[in-house]
Amino acid sequence: MNDKHTTASRPAAGDAAVERARQLLDGGEPTLGELAAAVGLGPTALQRRFSARYGLSPAQYLAQRKLDALKAGLREGRDVSAALYDAGYGSPSRVYEAGAARLGMTPASYRAGGAGEEVRWSLVDTALGMALVATTRRGICMVELGNAPAGLEAKLRAEFPRARLQRVDAGRDEFLAPRLQAVAARLAGKRSDVPLDLLGTAFQKKVWDALMKIPAGETRSYAQLAAELGQPSAARAVASACASNKVAVLVPCHRVVRGDGSPGGYRWGLPLKRELLQREAAPG
């Protein structure tokens, strides 16, 4: 995977073609056929090599580039319509239809750092220690573990800097209370139905969806998970997506290990990862 070690002329040419394809995507919206013809590869070969290198297909890369451009424009305070068109969206209705799913809120709310979005949260003691649980009206958007209440709240505020953050004492909110109970049950290793509101790139969401399909008591290596996603060379991208997960345990990135069986990294610390794996592997 290290381009510097590729010395054969054919792989080097392929790497150059993939890099050229990325540059073309950064400058426009070519179709896969147009892109392949421009860089001298077949569409299938280009799709495979591009996905292996970047963890996204050319179409997914283009969609993410547009979304990133929209986010940047909104953060800079541009008018929503101008930011949409500058990012390459031909119709505002298209991004508004899918905007909540991809941005986690409407573009107007995202422009203001979450202004107008209501996020209710609380701290709860669980089988794994203190947890901050935050939810939008669509579902749980963050489960953060830690020992310092102030640090947990700071992470939430960094994620939603201008949202209406409403702290609710556990059990005193008809909306949040059952979700807190469901999250606490899941952190204790019990079954419970917890609606999620996951915010991430297209590739990250693919990884997180795949994680949630791994049965308790089983693990996958980063390479195995990449292969299951049809992108066998994207193990590093899979590891990065796992590290970006902000919903502890419910999105079970602890079930992904290194190829040699060692635990690998974990956002909430290796001791907890080992504890979770041992608990899930225990009979009964």
| pLDDT value at 73 more than 80 | no
pLDDT, greater one: 83 or 176: 176
Q: Quick one: pLDDT at residue 10?
A: 41
Mean pLDDT calculated for residue range 197-201 = 73
| pLDDT value at 3 more than 60 | no
| pLDDT value at 180 more than 60 | yes
Render pLDDT for 226-252 as a digit per residue (tens, 0 to 9).
999 888 888 888 888 898 898 999 999
Strand-strand pairing, 220-221 and 256-257: parallel
Instruction: Select the CATH number that applies to the domain covering 202-277 from these four: 3.30.1380.10, 1.10.630.10, 1.10.10.10, 3.40.50.620.
Output: 1.10.10.10
Q: Quick one: pLDDT at residue 282?
A: 84
What beta strand segments (E) does the chain contain?
A: 118-126, 129-135, 140-145, 164-167, 220-221, 256-257
Q: Quick one: pLDDT at residue 232?
A: 87
Helix (H, G, I), strand (E, B) or coil at 77: coil
Render pLDDT for 158-167 as a digit per residue (tens, 0 to 9).
877 877 898 8
Q: Answer whether CATH 3.90.1150.10 is correct for domain 118-187.
A: no
Least confident of 14-28, 141-155, 195-209: 195-209
CA distance 119 to 167: 9
Q: Which residues contact 224 (CB under 8 A, 6 or more apart)?
A: none
Mean pLDDT calculated for residue range 86-108 = 52
Q: Quick one: pLDDT at residue 218?
A: 93
Q: Quick one: pLDDT at residue 1?
A: 39
pLDDT, greater one: 78 or 37: 37
Q: Quick one: pLDDT at residue 74?
A: 66
Active-site residue, selected from the candidate residues 253, 256, 276, 277 = 253
Q: Quick one: pLDDT at residue 96?
A: 46
CA distance 250 to 135: 13
Q: Quick one: pLDDT at residue 97?
A: 43
**Per-residue tokens: 67:** 């979304």
- Told to judge if 253 belongs to the known catalytic residues of this protein, a careful annotator would answer yes
Give a three-class secondary structure readout of 235-284: HHHHHHHHHCCCECCCCCHHHEECCCCCCCCCCCCHHHHHHHHHHHHCCC
| pLDDT value at 66 more than 70 | yes
Mean pLDDT calculated for residue range 38-56 = 87
Q: Residue ranges per domain, the chain? A: 3-54, 61-111, 118-187, 202-277
Render pLDDT for 253-269 as a digit per residue (tens, 0 to 9).
999 999 888 888 899 99
Task: Give pTM, 2 decimals.
Answer: 0.61
Average pLDDT, the chain: 80
CA distance 8 to 30: 29
Q: What is the DSSP letter of 80?
A: H
The Cα-based distances of 103 to 51, 108, 113, 223 in angstroms read 23, 10, 11, 28
Mean pLDDT calculated for residue range 124-134 = 92
Q: Quick one: pLDDT at residue 79?
A: 63
Q: What percent of the chain has pLDDT over 70?
A: 76
| pLDDT value at 69 more than 80 | no
